[in-house]
């Protein structure tokens, strides 16, 4: 771990271990589950095939968008809200910024999902969003071009951005300080369900536990088959203003946004911060056809001008002409989709040995700590702090019950 090393994070070979709960995969969801379990005093071991805060899964790159009024589902607002509160706790403890509530604009026609979904979620959660009519949007945000005649915006002042690698490290640091033991560079190659628990097998050793929390991101389906999960390769891109003297694309003037263009294309992103060293971030929504399915073990880690950049550059040129449409930086990343684009959080088939978290569908980081709290509670049989039926791993007609006992 960089800058905040904890003695309980180990790599290299180790003798077989016995514990109450083993958490497999320490990205967004798993690192948070590890923290929330350790903070409850549970004997917990975390296993991570790479390092803490690594760039090979779904949780790297300096920033993610953060919103509590989530257009994706009204049931997500309490989870993002719990995440914000838990991250504020860690910010106070470690003096590090994990979430910056610098605002987020949802932009589109009055009937578009960014407008209707955000308004519905904000109303449900009692959040103080501000509706900006077309003329006000144009006057306040001249960076936006190609607006439809009726396009408007919803400004959520409590939304903004969050810092994923930093958050993962902070979760693991807090977990370690509460007694969790973490093994990095440790890949679970098989999860065995036994009569009274689980055995997580690595190539050289094993961890025996009463329960497993499996939060392996794009690799979740390898360890828990039967869930309708599809990993997809979705790169991250950063841009610069065409004119280096143009300060209109700094985060304070160009806040986080989700924007549906008049023809249905959706862009998201946020402005730059030179002190933190991040540029203008812009990406396009998957919409089921902009990116491709991938095998997480074979994911293409190159960036290709024709297939990765050309389309996004054209969209950026249409939507924000002050941005140089040639990206200044890029990194491959993955999301894992489910048929309804919501996560899977809970016990598949009610199995008392197994809790899963995954299917992030490209919008999971803002919920990381809140999901960690749900996972810890589920493991211990607590009543969840919010209704999570819409995240049940069993909501899909054909989903299985996880791996067969062997
Ligand atoms: C381009 C892009 C933009 C995004 N933008 C946003 C955004 O603006 N806002 C937002 O909220 N979300 C966003 N997301 C989504 C967010 O990043 C993900 O929802 C989140 O990172 C998923 O976390 P995870 O824990 O499921 O997966 P990961 O963070 O990948 O964690 C899984 C972990 O499991 C480990 N692992 C896997 N297999 C094994 C094994 N066999 N043994 C041991 N360890 C294993 C992996 O190494 C990894 O560390 C974006 C994603 C992408 C790709």
Same domain for 32 and 135? no
| Cβ 296 under 6 angstroms from ligand 1 | no
Please tell me the distance from the alpha carbon of residue 174 to that of residue 94, in angstroms, as a whole number: 9
Asked whether residue 403 is assigned to any structural domain, the reply reads: no
pLDDT of residue 399: 52
| Atom 51 of ligand 1, residue of closest alpha carbon | 362
Same domain for 361 and 318? no
Same domain for 320 and 252? yes
| Cβ 236 under 6 angstroms from ligand 1 | yes
> Which parts of the chain sit beneath pLDDT 70?
1-7, 398-406
Please tell me the distance from the alpha carbon of residue 197 to that of residue 213, in angstroms, as a whole number: 12
Question: Do residues 365 and 31 make contact, with C-beta atoms less than 8 angstroms apart?
Answer: no
Same domain for 325 and 304? yes
Ligand 1 nearest atom to the CA of residue 359, by list position: 26
Asked whether residue 137 is assigned to any structural domain, the reply reads: yes
Among 11, 61, 216, the mutation site with the greatest number of ligand 1 atoms within 8 A of its Cβ is 216
User: Across the chain, which distance is largest between two alpha carbons, in Å?
Assistant: 66
Same domain for 192 and 280? no
Residue whose token pair is 């989870």: 79
Same domain for 295 and 248? yes
Ligand 1 nearest atom to the CA of residue 357, by list position: 26
pLDDT of residue 281: 98
Q: Determine the distance separating the centroid of ligand 1 and the alpha carbon of 13, expressed in angstroms.
A: 25
Same domain for 361 and 300? no
| Cβ 217 under 6 angstroms from ligand 1 | yes
Secondary element (H or E) of residue 125:
helix 113-125
Same domain for 133 and 109? yes
pLDDT of residue 397: 84
pLDDT of residue 7: 54
Q: Determine the distance separating the centroid of ligand 1 and the alpha carbon of 250, expressed in angstroms.
A: 27
Question: Do residues 66 and 258 make contact, with C-beta atoms less than 8 angstroms apart?
Answer: no
Among 332, 358, 382, where does a domain finish? 332
| Cβ 28 under 6 angstroms from ligand 1 | yes
- The predicted-structure confidence for 6-32, as pLDDT tens digits, reads as follows 457 888 789 999 999 999 999 999 999
pLDDT of residue 8: 77
| Cβ 284 under 6 angstroms from ligand 1 | no
Same domain for 241 and 124? yes
Asked whether residue 217 is assigned to any structural domain, the reply reads: yes
Burial of 344 (0-12, 13-18, 19+ CB in 10 A): buried
CA dihedral 215, 220, 223, 226 (to 10 degrees): 120
Q: Determine the distance separating the centroid of ligand 1 and the alpha carbon of 307, expressed in angstroms.
A: 23
* Domain of residue 215, residue span: 9-59+164-231+339-391
| Cβ 348 under 6 angstroms from ligand 1 | no
b/e map 352-376, b = 16+ CB within 10 Å = ebbbbbbbbbbbbbbbbbbbbbbbb
Ligand 1 nearest atom to the CA of residue 366, by list position: 11
- The predicted-structure confidence for 257-276, as pLDDT tens digits, reads as follows 999 999 999 999 999 999 99
SS3 102: coil
What values do phi and psi take at 366, rounded to 5?
-65, -10
Same domain for 153 and 222? no
Please tell me the distance from the alpha carbon of residue 12 to that of residue 221, in angstroms, as a whole number: 25
Ligand 1 nearest atom to the CA of residue 222, by list position: 41
Asked whether residue 402 is assigned to any structural domain, the reply reads: no
Same domain for 217 and 359? yes
Among 314, 332, 350, where does a domain finish? 332
Provide the number of structural domains found in the chain. Answer: 2
Question: Do residues 209 and 34 make contact, with C-beta atoms less than 8 angstroms apart?
Answer: no
Asked whether residue 74 is assigned to any structural domain, the reply reads: no
Find the CATH number of the domain harbouring 119.
3.30.9.10
């Amino acid at each position: 771990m960089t800058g905040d090393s904890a003695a309980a994070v180990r790599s290299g070979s180790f003798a077989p271990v016995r514990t109450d709960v083993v958490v497999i995969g320490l990205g967004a969801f798993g690192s948070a589950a590890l923290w929330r379990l350790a903070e409850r005093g549970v004997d917990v071991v975390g296993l991570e095939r790479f390092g803490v805060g690594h760039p090979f899964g779904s949780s790297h790159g300096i920033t993610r968008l953060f919103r509590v009024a989530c257009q994706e589902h009204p049931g997500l607002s309490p989870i993002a809200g719990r995440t914000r509160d838990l991250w504020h706790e860690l910010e106070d403890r470690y003096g590090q910024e994990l979430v910056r509530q610098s605002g987020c604009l949802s932009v589109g026609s009055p009937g578009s999902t960014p407008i209707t979904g955000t308004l519905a979620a904000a109303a449900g959660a009692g959040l103080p969003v501000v509706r900006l009519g077309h003329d006000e949007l144009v006057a306040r945000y001249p960076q936006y071009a190609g607006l439809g005649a009726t396009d408007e915006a919803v400004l959520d002042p409590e939304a903004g951005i969050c810092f994923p690698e930093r958050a993962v490290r902070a979760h693991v640091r807090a977990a370690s300080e509460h007694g969790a033991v973490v093994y990095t560079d440790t890949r679970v190659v098989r999860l065995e369900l036994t009569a009274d628990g689980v055995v997580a097998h690595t190539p050289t050793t094993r961890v025996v536990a009463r329960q497993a929390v499996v939060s392996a991101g794009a690799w979740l389906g390898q360890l828990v088959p039967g869930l309708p999960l599809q990993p997809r390769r979705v790169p991250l891109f950063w841009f610069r203003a065409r004119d280096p003297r143009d300060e209109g694309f700094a985060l304070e003037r160009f806040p986080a946004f989700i924007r549906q263009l008049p023809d249905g294309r959706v862009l998201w992103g946020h402005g730059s911060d030179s002190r933190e060293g991040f540029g203008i971030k812009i990406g396009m929504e998957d919409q089921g056809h902009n990116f491709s399915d991938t095998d997480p073990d074979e994911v293409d880690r190159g960036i290709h001008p024709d297939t990765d950049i050309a389309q996004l550059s054209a969209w950026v040129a249409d939507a924000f002409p002050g941005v140089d449409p040639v990206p200044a930086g890029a990194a491959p990343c993955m999301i894992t989709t489910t048929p309804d684009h919501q996560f899977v959080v809970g016990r598949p088939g009610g199995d008392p040995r197994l809790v899963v978290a995954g299917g992030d569908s490209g919008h999971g980081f803002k919920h990381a700590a809140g999901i960690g709290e749900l996972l810890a509670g589920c493991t211990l049989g607590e009543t969840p702090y919010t209704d999570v039926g819409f995240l049940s791993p069993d909501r899909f007609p054909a989903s299985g019950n996880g791996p067969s006992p062997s």
